[in-house]
């Protein structure tokens, strides 16, 4: 399986890495660090957390996200910030983090992961299982502790009980799963408190300190709570429960606001208490295996990059569909809608990765710089380039599927789109004129996420008589299926075996399940591990977020101001036909509707 | 609509395309067919060349030597065969007679008759057709039928009424015994054919399944005495076409005394293989390949042929030729030219063959230092012992004939300058396979270079077209191993024919026979192609023989002489078929 990171058997915090790439990364970093601040080599763990730091100052010069570092240094009223800002003047700023003279007395470090909102759904379904999987695979550092934090009164035992119910051994129920589970649960603790109470967080801090027992304390807070209490929680955690001698990082999940303004306000508020590099904005689609693989495909294969431009690519389609509706949980959704929930984040992130120029290196800042460039080259979306839909009820075979507005948690007159299709354009040299089509919907006929790249037709095709009148019907197509059944396939034209000359589209196929037997880790595992390691590649920087919102905000406002009525489509159908007309406008045909799908 | 096409069907489940036997009368509608054909996703190129040719054959096919001599090569003929008029399309029924000269031979039994039957079974032969066997052996028609029926099988999963079909087929088979160099005997054959043709317009195809030394005699007799008076006459010949430039030119010259260029169908049965046919489709009907098809992206190309058996007591013919003449100069070189040619103007035979000739003429003649030769020696594995080549009783004890050869070829044109084309062919190796491997260059400035070893060329993309066994196309790509961390891996984007197409693959001979019947010359070798091919190999072959270069011995069933690796290394190539992930 994949490389794993920390060896639980290590006697100190020296980490053992099974992956050559990580080793390499560490070696590089090791060199850099030992040059920058000799004497710190003892503490590899905290060094790793800053693995991207050498490039960060560079980014700071040019990128919005990093500019904030200088801006926020004015607001020095928060203790944590004070510590950090004094060090920022010393280059490189990141290195200063978590490294104070008395650290040197200890060569051990610990990591505490606090799940704020521990009794919530996401925590139960995704975060605790992901943490356990990482532990099972020996990916967590030797000294780690997990804290649940929520308002409910619970004992440690009750938390453990709750957590244990959702734990499974990811990889075919391998050996000593029960044992591992016991060990894991022993490291789980609970603290009950209000999200906006500094006092309660100060109590948590005391508990944390007991567990950390004088080691270099690294703390990761996972905010699994509603967006309206993000700031309060961040403020309290940062003020009262920041690590004194290690790093403190905060993972936040979408929604990051609902438009440019609210997102900017959220960012500003967060930055009162946190540095840019402490904020880990999760987009869990970036943790999906095939999204990770996208860059590998592009940049480690000679055969794709020459084709990766307007010269050869006719259009790109990003498709997300779910085969279920809100099912009684429409309260949150109705306030956001599918465009904010899926397009502005997940699909746009994939688009940016797909379309970006080759980064200088694989370092997080280099990649994120390129992604921001793509976003900033894009035209804001126009209202006439968007189609929205909402599912209505449908009866099939005696089963009645409810409409979106039948959901009790949804207002009866809601115009919130549950489906949307949009055409986007990147006005740069590589992509000028190539439509990027997005489509996302709930309650459709199938569940899938995929990237489809349709190539142009062969100029002067010798075999044109074998194709119909529309040469574009039979072009090559590269499909990267993110879910379900991860796969990569390239549609090519070939001859049907036999006499005569009949052409056919076949797939050059790589189905993951046939090539790789192991289960693919959940996106949350990857992202949690990256956050622990300080690898920011898959997290969204503030300036990225701003740029993403500025593309969507005008059209979202427009839609809401004009109270645009969504096109209704039956539950379980293929979505509103408007999506086809939108595609037709740009001479595109949705690949997921083709006869050979 | 489909029945009006001169292909047997356009239904989705019937793959084959060929002449419809019952519709030779329906010629008028054919004029409009090409435009309609598109809607069936079919190629009409075959068919557009059929009927025009009737007139053409009429003028050229009667064995008039003068006419033949005046025609230089294919490009000259085109003007003659264009522009069919409604008159030329003819309105009478015609009859096709296929005469297998050398009917009692091995090839006839194993390949030609079964292929003819398969074509008949699939309704690909014209309505009126006859099969004649011709050989020296005395045999009755019944004896021939008996011989043929022993080898016939119903190709496609023993589908219905196979027995019926077989009987119908055998009823149309006849035998005539005669000497290969006797005009008199061929004239008797002509009489028999005339009787059976029953006054229909007669088209005649002679398949020369005889040793090369009597090619010319047969061509002469058949052309003089058994040419069709009112239809076309074509002759299929099989390799060897000489053993060097001179003997090949002599053979061509002799054949052309009796036949026009367009009557000669030189078969290279590798060109009838599915994947080889598919090569042009892949290149020219997919946008994703053509931009990569040059020295900018391709590091080297490998053409690999291996058999897992030796001469096994039939070394007599082989010893006189050797693996280079037997496999490289024809099969592998033909594939190479198809691979490397520029985009032809159209898919017409002459356009394609013009491009192939250009490739051949841009190639450097082979140098001795770019070739290594090998010969297999005896080997015992377990309790079993395998004979060496020279242990074969039909092979001289001191034979230096190569049973293995590897060579580096270069095409000095703008597209391929500096790209090594490596060929490797051998008998008695560890596996049986034929494949084309295209190794791409490494990614310039690869971001993931830390994930690869020190040799970036080891993890490059590779396109593999496997001709046999298990036809497949796959593209090796680098991808991430699923899981945490970043480990890269080479996986295949795969198209395995057996998984996608359930039907049994047709035999190359079926395709080539039907093409010869339809006058489609795309897959046959033109005289100037043959000349160009020989001129690449002749100097080398002469040098090998003059210097009595001793082949490197390799054990039966091994991976061949290691010299092949050193040859590859010299050109910075690594054989793809011997890499660890194969």
Q: Is the per-residue pLDDT at B13 higher than 70?
A: no
Nearest to A511 by CA among A473, A479, A552, A469: A479
**Structure tokens that stand for A425 in this block:** 């354009």
Cis peptide upstream of residue B240 (ω within 30 degrees of 0): yes
For residue B155, the model assigns a pLDDT of: 60
Q: CA torsion sign, A67 to A70 to A76 to A81?
A: positive
Please write the tens of the pLDDT for every residue from A303-352: 998 999 999 999 999 999 999 999 888 988 999 999 999 999 999 999 99
Nearest to A128 by CA among A160, A159, A163: A163
- Residue B59 vs residue B410, higher pLDDT: B410
Q: Is the per-residue pLDDT at A86 higher than 50?
A: no
A580 touches chain B (CB under 8 A): no
For residue B461, the model assigns a pLDDT of: 93
Give the pLDDT mean for B553-564.
94
For residue B52, the model assigns a pLDDT of: 39
Q: Is B461 exposed, middle or buried (0-12, 13-18, 19+ CB in 10 A)?
A: buried
Contacts 24+ apart (CB under 8 A), B544-549: B544/B324, B544/B368, B544/B371, B544/B373, B544/B402, B547/B368, B548/B400, B549/B368, B549/B373, B549/B400
Using 50, 70 and 90 to split pLDDT, how confident is the model at B244? very high
Contacts 24+ apart (CB under 8 A), B34-37: B34/A465, B36/B1, B37/A465, B37/B5
Give the pLDDT mean for B15-31.
39
The mean of the pLDDT values for chain B is 83
For residue B154, the model assigns a pLDDT of: 64
**Which residues does chain B have within 8 Å of residue A303's beta carbon, measured at their own beta carbons?**
288, 292, 297, 440, 461, 475, 477
Please write the tens of the pLDDT for every residue from A236-288: 999 999 998 899 999 998 899 999 999 999 999 999 999 999 999 999 899 88
Q: Which of A7, A465, A499, A535 to mutate to test the interface with B (most CBs of B within 10 A)?
A: A499
**Structure tokens that stand for A551 in this block:** 């593309």
The mean of the pLDDT values for chain A is 82
Please write the tens of the pLDDT for every residue from A358-369: 999 999 999 999
Give the pLDDT mean for A114-140.
91
Please write the tens of the pLDDT for every residue from A529-575: 999 999 998 999 999 999 999 999 999 999 999 999 999 999 999 99
Q: Is the per-residue pLDDT at A24 higher than 60?
A: no
Task: Note whether A439 and A448 are within 8 A (CB).
Answer: no
A411 touches chain B (CB under 8 A): no
Using 50, 70 and 90 to split pLDDT, how confident is the model at B24? very low
Q: Is the per-residue pLDDT at B64 higher than 60?
A: no
Place of tokens 């970006």: A356
Nearest-Cα distance to chain A for B498, in Å, is 10
Please write the tens of the pLDDT for every residue from A549-560: 999 999 999 999
Phi, psi angle pair for A81, to nearest 5°: -65, -35
Place of tokens 């999200």: A195
Give the pLDDT mean for A131-150.
91
HSE-CB for A155 with a 13 A CA cutoff: 3
Please write the tens of the pLDDT for every residue from B151-180: 877 665 566 677 888 889 999 999 999 999
Place of tokens 């030609």: B112
Contact A497 B510 (CB under 8 A): no
Using 50, 70 and 90 to split pLDDT, how confident is the model at A69? very low
Compare CB distances from B442 to A302, A460, A498 and report the shortest one's residue.
Answer: A302
Nearest-Cα distance to chain A for B155, in Å, is 12
Task: Note whether A308 and A429 are within 8 A (CB).
Answer: no
Contact A498 B503 (CB under 8 A): yes
Distance CA A323, CA A571 (A): 8
Q: Which of A367, A458, A497 to mutate to test the interface with B (most CBs of B within 10 A)?
A: A497
Give the pLDDT mean for B486-498.
85
Size of interface A-B (CB pairs under 8 A): 253
B62 touches chain A (CB under 8 A): no
Contacts 24+ apart (CB under 8 A), B60-63: B60/B260, B60/B262, B60/B263, B61/B227, B61/B228, B61/B231, B61/B232, B61/B233, B61/B234, B61/B260, B61/B263, B62/B227, B62/B228, B62/B229, B62/B233, B63/B223, B63/B224, B63/B227, B63/B233, B63/B258, B63/B259
Q: Is the per-residue pLDDT at B56 higher than 50?
A: no
B13 touches chain A (CB under 8 A): no
Give the pLDDT mean for B81-108.
71
For residue A10, the model assigns a pLDDT of: 37
Nearest-Cα distance to chain A for B275, in Å, is 8
**Which residues does chain A have within 8 Å of residue B15's beta carbon, measured at their own beta carbons?**
496-500, 502
Please write the tens of the pLDDT for every residue from B454-468: 777 778 999 999 998
Give the pLDDT mean for A398-426.
95
Nearest-Cα distance to chain A for B460, in Å, is 7
For residue A597, the model assigns a pLDDT of: 56
Please write the tens of the pLDDT for every residue from B327-380: 999 999 999 999 999 999 999 999 999 999 999 999 999 999 999 999 999 998
Using 50, 70 and 90 to split pLDDT, how confident is the model at A174? low
Using 50, 70 and 90 to split pLDDT, how confident is the model at B310? very high
Q: Which of A24, A494, A514 to mutate to test the interface with B (most CBs of B within 10 A)?
A: A494
CB < 8 Å from A in window 427-486 of B? 440-443, 445-448, 450-451, 459-461, 471, 473-475, 477-486
Q: How are beta strands B298-306 and B433-440 bridged, if at all?
A: antiparallel
Q: How are beta strands B421-426 and B298-306 bridged, if at all?
A: parallel
Give the pLDDT mean for B203-229.
92
Q: Is the per-residue pLDDT at A496 higher than 90?
A: no
Could you give the angle at which helices A542-561 and A260-273 cross, rounded to 10 degrees? 150
For residue A191, the model assigns a pLDDT of: 94
Nearest-Cα distance to chain B for A233, in Å, is 30
For residue A336, the surrounding DSSP H or E stretch is: helix A330-338
Using 50, 70 and 90 to split pLDDT, how confident is the model at B14? very low
């Amino acid at each position: 399986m994949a490389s794993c990171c920390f060896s639980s058997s290590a006697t100190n915090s020296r980490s053992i890495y099974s992956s050559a790439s990580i080793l390499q990364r560490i070696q590089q970093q090791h060199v850099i660090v030992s040059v920058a601040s000799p004497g710190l080599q003892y503490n590899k763990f905290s060094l790793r957390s800053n693995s991207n730091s050498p490039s960060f100052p560079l980014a700071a010069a040019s990128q919005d996200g990093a500019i904030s570092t200088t801006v926020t240094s004015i607001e020095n009223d928060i203790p944590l910030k004070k510590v950090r800002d004094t060090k920022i003047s010393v280059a490189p700023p990141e290195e200063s983090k978590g490294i104070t003279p008395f650290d040197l007395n200890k060569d051990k470090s610990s990591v505490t992961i606090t799940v704020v909102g521990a009794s919530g759904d996401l925590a139960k379904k995704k975060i605790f299982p992901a943490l356990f999987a990482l532990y099972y695979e020996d990916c967590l550092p030797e000294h780690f502790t997990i804290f649940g934090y929520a308002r409910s009164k619970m004992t440690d035992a009750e938390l453990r009980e709750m957590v244990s119910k959702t734990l499974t051994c990811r990889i075919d129920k391998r050996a000593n799963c029960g044992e591992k589970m016991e060990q894991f649960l022993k490291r789980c603790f609970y603290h009950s408190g209000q999200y906006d109470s500094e006092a309660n967080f100060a109590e948590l801090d005391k508990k944390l300190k007991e567990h950390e027992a004088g080691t270099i304390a690294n703390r990761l807070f996972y905010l699994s709570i509603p967006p309206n209490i993000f700031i309060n929680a961040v403020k309290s955690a940062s003020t009262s429960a920041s690590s004194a001698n290690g790093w403190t990082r905060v993972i936040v999940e979408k929604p990051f606001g609902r438009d440019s303004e609210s997102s900017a306000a959220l960012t500003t508020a967060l930055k009162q208490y946190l540095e840019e590099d402490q904020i880990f904005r999760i987009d869990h689609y970036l943790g999906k295996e095939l999204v990770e693989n996208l860059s590998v495909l592009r940049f480690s294969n000679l055969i794709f990059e020459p084709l990766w431009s307007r010269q050869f690519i006719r259009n790109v389609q990003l498709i997300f569909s779910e085969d279920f509706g809100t099912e009684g949980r429409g309260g949150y959704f109705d306030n956001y809608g599918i465009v904010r929930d899926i397009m502005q984040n997940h699909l746009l992130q994939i688009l940016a990765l797909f379309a970006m120029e080759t980064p200088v290196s694989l370092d997080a800042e280099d990649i994120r710089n390129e992604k921001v460039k793509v976003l900033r080259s894009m035209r804001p979306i126009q209202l006439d380039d968007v189609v929205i839909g909402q599912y209505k009820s449908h009866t099939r075979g005696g089963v009645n599927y409810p409409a979106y507005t039948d959901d009790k948690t949804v207002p009866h007159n809601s115009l919130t789109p549950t489906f949307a299709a949009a055409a986007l354009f990147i006005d740069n040299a590589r992509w000028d004129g190539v439509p990027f089509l997005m489509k996302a919907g709930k309650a459709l006929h199938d569940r899938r996420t995929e990237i489809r790249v349709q190539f142009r037709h062969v100029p002067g095709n010798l075999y044109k008589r074998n194709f119909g009148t529309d040469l574009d019907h039979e072009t090559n197509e590269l499909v990267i299926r993110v879910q379900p059944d991860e796969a990569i396939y390239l549609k090519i034209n070939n001859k049907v075996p036999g006499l005569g000359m009949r052409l056919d589209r076949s797939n050059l196929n790589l189905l993951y399940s046939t090539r790789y037997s192991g289960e693919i880790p959940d996106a949350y595992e990857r992202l949690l591990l990256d956050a622990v390691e300080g690898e920011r590649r898959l997290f969204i920087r503030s300036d990225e977020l701003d740029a993403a919102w500025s593309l969507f905000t005008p059209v979202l406002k427009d839609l809401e101001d004009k109270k645009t009525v969504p096109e209704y489509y039956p539950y379980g159908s293929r979505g509103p036909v408007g999506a086809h007309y939108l595609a037709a406008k740009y001479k595109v045909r949705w690949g997921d509707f083709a006869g050979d799908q | 609509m489909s029945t009006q096409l001169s292909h047997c069907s356009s239904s989705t489940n019937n793959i084959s395309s060929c002449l419809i036997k019952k519709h030779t009368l329906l010629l008028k509608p054919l004029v409009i067919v090409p435009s309609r054909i598109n809607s069936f996703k079919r190629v009409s190129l075959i068919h557009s060349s059929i009927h025009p040719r009737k007139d053409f054959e009429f003028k050229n096919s009667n064995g008039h030597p003068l006419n033949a001599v005046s025609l230089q090569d294919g490009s000259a003929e085109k003007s003659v065969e264009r522009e069919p008029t409604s008159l030329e399309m003819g309105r009478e029924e015609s009859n096709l007679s296929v005469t297998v000269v050398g009917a009692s031979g091995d090839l006839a039994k194993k390949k030609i008759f079964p292929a003819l039957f398969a074509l008949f079974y699939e309704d690909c032969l014209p309505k009126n057709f006859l099969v004649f066997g011709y050989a020296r052996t005395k045999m009755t028609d019944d004896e021939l039928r008996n011989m043929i029926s022993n080898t016939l099988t119903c190709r496609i999963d023993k589908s219905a009424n196979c027995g019926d079909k077989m009987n119908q087929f055998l009823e149309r088979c006849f035998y005539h015994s005669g000497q290969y160099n006797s005009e008199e005997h061929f004239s008797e054959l002509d009489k028999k054919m005339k009787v059976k043709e029953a006054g229909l317009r007669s088209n005649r195809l002679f398949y020369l399944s005889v040793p090369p030394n009597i090619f010319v005699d047969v061509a002469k007799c058949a052309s003089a005495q058994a040419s069709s008076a009112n239809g076309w006459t074509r002759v299929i010949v099989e390799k060897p076409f000489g053993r060097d430039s001179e003997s090949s030119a002599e053979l061509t010259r002799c054949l052309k005394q009796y036949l026009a260029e367009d009557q000669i169908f030189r078969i290279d049965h590798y060109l009838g293989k599915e994947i080889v046919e598919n090569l042009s489709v892949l290149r020219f009907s997919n946008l994703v390949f053509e931009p990569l098809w040059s020295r900018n992206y391709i590091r080297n190309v490998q053409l690999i042929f291996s058999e897992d058996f030796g001469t096994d007591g039939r070394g007599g013919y082989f010893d006189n030729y050797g693996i280079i003449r037997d496999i490289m100069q024809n099969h592998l070189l033909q594939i190479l030219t198809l691979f490397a040619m520029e985009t032809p103007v159209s898919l017409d035979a002459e356009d394609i063959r013009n491009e192939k000739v250009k490739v051949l003429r841009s190639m450097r003649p082979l140098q001795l230092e770019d070739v290594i030769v090998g010969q297999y020696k005896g080997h015992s594995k377990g309790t079993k012992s395998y004979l060496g080549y020279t242990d074969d009783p039909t092979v001289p004890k001191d034979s230096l004939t190569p049973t293995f050869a590897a060579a580096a070829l270069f095409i000095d044109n703008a597209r391929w300058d500096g790209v090594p084309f490596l060929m490797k062919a051998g008998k008695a190796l560890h596996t049986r396979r034929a494949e084309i491997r295209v190794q791409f260059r490494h990614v310039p400035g690869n971001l993931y270079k830390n994930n690869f070893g020190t040799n970036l060329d080891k993890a490059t993309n590779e396109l593999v077209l496997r001709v046999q066994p298990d036809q497949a196309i796959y593209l090796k790509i680098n991808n991430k191993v699923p899981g945490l961390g970043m480990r890269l891996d080479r996986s295949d984007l795969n198209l395995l024919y057996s998984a996608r197409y359930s039907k049994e693959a047709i035999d190359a001979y079926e395709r080539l026979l039907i093409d010869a019947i339809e006058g489609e010359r795309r897959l046959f070798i033109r005289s100037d192609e043959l000349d160009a091919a020989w001129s690449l190999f002749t100097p080398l072959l002469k040098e090998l023989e003059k210097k009595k270069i001793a082949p490197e011995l390799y054990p039966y069933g091994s991976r061949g002489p290691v010299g092949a690796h050193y040859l590859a290394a010299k050109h910075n190539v690594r054989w793809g078929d011997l890499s660890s992930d194969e």
